[in-house]
Amino acid sequence: MQHYLIDGNNLIGKQSSLKSLQETDPQQSREKLTFILDRYFVNRKYKVSLHFDGFEKDKIRTAKMKIVYSDNKTADEKIRQQIEYAKNPKKLVVITSDFSLGEFAKKCSCSVIKSEEFLKKLSDKNDSKSENEIQKEIDNEEIKRLFGI
């Protein structure tokens, strides 16, 4: 199973609305990114680790991901450690535009996707189902059973 290692602050910095939100409310920008990523990965069979610089302020709820805070280190250092200790680095996909981290990951046989490219995947309407498509897939009988209709 592939394991995505996401450089959260780097990804936030490449998306204009998240970047401006981070300047005023860093916690809310992290929460919004987590929500976006959860929706993207929810029906995909990948492990996901979202890395942020600094310390955990408020717990962020996530359905799919493990959130890693770097504490006194940088998120890049924590991602490097995770790559170094991986049993099979070829199954790791690192999302970052940080040149040195990307080069390190490539040397360790990881796949690397630049943050800008990954953001395009997140916003690609064909890559994720709309709410209407999901709703059509739900069996009406199941809805009636759940809600006692």
Q: pLDDT, tens digit, for every residue of 38-52?
A: 999 988 999 999 999
120, 34 Cβ separation under 8 angstroms = no
Q: What is the fold, at CATH topology level, of the domain defined by 3-147?
A: Rossmann fold (3.40.50)
List Cα–Cα distances, 49 to 25, 64, 75, 106, in angstroms: 22, 9, 11, 18
Report the largest interatomic distance among the alpha carbons of the chain, rounded to a whole angstrom: 58
d(CA 16, CA 22): 10
Chain length of the chain: 149
Q: pLDDT, tens digit, for every residue of 114-147?
A: 999 999 988 875 444 544 544 444 455 555 555 6
Report pTM: 0.81
Question: Above pLDDT 70, what percent of the chain?
Answer: 83
Extents of the domains making up the chain = 3-147
